[in-house]
Structure 1
Amino acid sequence: MENNASCSSSCVFQPRFKPFGDRIVLRGLRFLGVHGVNDDEKKAVQPFIVDVDAWLNTEKAGETDNLNDTVSYTDLHRAIKVVVEGPHFDLLEALANSIATTIFQRFRTITDVRVRIDMPKVAAKKDADYVGLEIFRSAPS
C-alpha cells in the first residue's frame, strides 16, 4: 500500500515498471562468483541464485515454430553466466544492472527484464530464507 493521506484503503501501490505480454522465464540459475563488499566476499567463491524474466514479443515464433524468431534459453543462460562468473562487483545492484545491460546488448528483441539475485550463503548467516536484490529495467530507447 502506498502511504498517501488522500488514498482510501483501496489504493494500491503501482510501480512505474509495468511489463506485460510474452516473456521468457529462467528460475533458479545457480552460479559461483566472487561478489560483495566484505573482505571475505572479495576472496571466496560463493553461490548466487539468479531468476530472470525477459519480456519480448514471441508471436512470430509461435506461428513459425522457428528458434530464429525468438531468444534461445540457452543463449540467455550463457549470457547471464558470463556476467555472474566474471569480474567482481562490490554491490548486487551493480551485478544485477550488468546482467540487465548484457541482456539488452545481446538480445535486441527483449524490451524489459526483471533480475533477482539470491545470496544463499549470506541468508544462512542472517538466519533468513532469502537475502538478495530484485531489479526491473527497460531497454534503452
Structure 2
Amino acid sequence: MSKIYLEDVKIYAYHGVLPEENSIGTYYILNAELHTDLWKAAESDDLNDTISYADINDILHQEMKIKSKLLEHVAGRIISKIHERFPQIDYIKLTITKTAPPMQGEMKGASIELEKGFKPEL
C-alpha cells in the first residue's frame, strides 16, 4: 500500500449557512490522504508514473473557491474531482476544518471528514 498526503493546506474561503460566512469568509485547513500504487514511480523517478501532489493541491484550491453551505458538499466535490482526474486512486480521505466557526466558546475549529474507497475497474 502506498499513500500520498497533503497536510494542513490552508485556504481562505467562503462557506457556511449564515450569510456573514459567505461574505466575510475564514481560513480552512485541509488534509488529504490518497491510496495508490507508487512503486512504478519509486523505480522510474518519473513524474508521469505517479500522482502530482501539485495537481491535487490545485484541485483543493479550485473547489474551495466554489461557495457552499456545507463542508460535506465541498469535500464530496473535491473527492469526486480528484478521482475523476486520477482514477488509479483506490481510496481518498479528506478532512476540512473551519478555523473560526461562528459558535460560542473558543475552539481550534470544527471539522468534517469524508472517506471513500474505489473498486478497481475490471
By the TM > 0.5 criterion, same fold?
yes
Structure 2 Cα separation of the partners of residues 49 and 123 of structure 1: 16
- Say whether 1:75 aligns with 2:58: no
* Count of aligned residue pairs for this structure pair: 120
Q: Match for 1:43: what amino acid?
A: S
Structure 1 Cα separation of the partners of residues 104 and 28 of structure 2: 15
- Does the residue aligned with 1:93 lie in a helix, a strand or coil? helix
Q: Which runs of 5+ in 2 are unaligned?
A: none
TM-score (norm 2): 0.90
Does the Cα contact within 8 Å between 1:52 and 1:115 map onto a contact in 2? yes
Residue 137 (structure 1) aligns with: 116
Structure 1 Cα separation of the partners of residues 51 and 102 of structure 2: 32
Does the Cα contact within 8 Å between 1:83 and 1:95 map onto a contact in 2? yes
Structure 2 Cα separation of the partners of residues 125 and 80 of structure 1: 29
- Say whether 1:102 aligns with 2:81: yes
Say which structure is richer in strand: 2
Residue 48 (structure 1) aligns with: 28
* TM-aligned CA deviation for residue 123 of structure 1: 7.7
TM-score (norm 1): 0.79
The C-alpha deviation readout for 1:80-114, integer Å capped at 9, x for no partner, is: 110012x2110011011111011001112111100
- Say whether 1:39 aligns with 2:19: yes
Structure 1 Cα separation of the partners of residues 86 and 45 of structure 2: 19
- Say whether 1:65 aligns with 2:41: no
Residue 8 (structure 2) aligns with: 28
* TM-aligned CA deviation for residue 126 of structure 1: 3.5
Which has the greater radius of gyration? 1
* TM-aligned CA deviation for residue 129 of structure 1: 2.5
Structure 2 Cα separation of the partners of residues 71 and 22 of structure 1: 11
* TM-aligned CA deviation for residue 130 of structure 1: 3.1
Compare relative contact order (CA 8 Å, sep 6+) and give the higher one, 1 or 2. Answer: 2
Structure 2 Cα separation of the partners of residues 121 and 137 of structure 1: 27
Q: Root-mean-square deviation (CA), in Å?
A: 1.7
Does the Cα contact within 8 Å between 2:13 and 2:27 map onto a contact in 1? yes
Q: Which runs of 5+ in 1 are unaligned?
A: 1-20
